[in-house]
């Protein structure tokens, strides 16, 4: 069975956490809300998310990938070296690294965008380009194990590509 970390922190975008979290579960893929150790996080609208695993206990070998949602949470998440190292480790192992909207900020801090194709929310386009990515204004961009999207409206395509990537993988984590 595959296991995917869905990163969570305060000020997360509610649809960008819960849509992929639940959609992946529908496909029989284990999803785990991984946070920075606070136990409960509130979305921009105040909707709670309970941490299921602290990043301190998350190990790259235990996961098939990570989903990095947007909102303002990525600006908090990227300040944690454990978060950046976890994302970079998954990327290096060619496991799924998926980010939507402002989730690109974590990709930047993890150092995984150089010479890659990606998309993001328009407000951070310059940040993504300055990190070395080729920016494409598409609902979803797939570049190897990196999957990126722009906004909640792109969630169906984003989730479809994540599920397709995971179903085509032969590893068991």
Residue in this structure with the two tokens 């190292």, named with its chain if needed = 85
Catalytic positions, written as ranges: 102
CA distance 110 to 103: 11
Phi/psi at 81 (nearest 5 deg)? -60, -35
Region for 34 from its dihedrals, namely left if φ exceeds 0, alpha if ψ lies in -120 to 50, beta otherwise: beta
CA distance 35 to 143: 26
Residues whose CB falls within 8 Å of the CB of residue 46, separated by 6 or more in sequence, listed in order: none
Is 32:7 a contact under the CB 8 Å cutoff?
Answer: no
Burial of 26 (0-12, 13-18, 19+ CB in 10 A): exposed
């Amino acid at each position: 069975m595959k296991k995917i970390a869905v990163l969570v922190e305060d000020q997360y975008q509610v649809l960008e956490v819960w849509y992929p979290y639940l959609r992946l579960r529908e496909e029989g893929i284990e999803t785990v809300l991984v946070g920075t150790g606070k136990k409960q996080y509130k979305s921009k609208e105040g909707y709670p998310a309970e941490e299921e695993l602290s990043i301190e206990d998350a190990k790259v070998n235990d996961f098939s990938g990570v989903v990095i949602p947007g909102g303002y949470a990525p600006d908090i998440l990227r300040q944690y070296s454990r978060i950046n190292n976890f994302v970079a480790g998954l990327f290096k192992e060619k496991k799924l690294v998926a980010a939507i909207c402002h989730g690109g900020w974590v990709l930047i801090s993890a150092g995984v965008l150089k010479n890659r194709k990606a998309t993001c929310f328009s407000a951070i386009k310059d940040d993504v380009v300055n990190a070395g990515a080729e920016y494409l204004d598409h609902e979803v961009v797939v570049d190897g194990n990196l999957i990126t999207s722009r906004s909640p409206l792109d969630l169906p395509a984003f989730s479809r590509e994540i599920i397709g990537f995971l179903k085509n993988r032969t590893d068991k984590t």
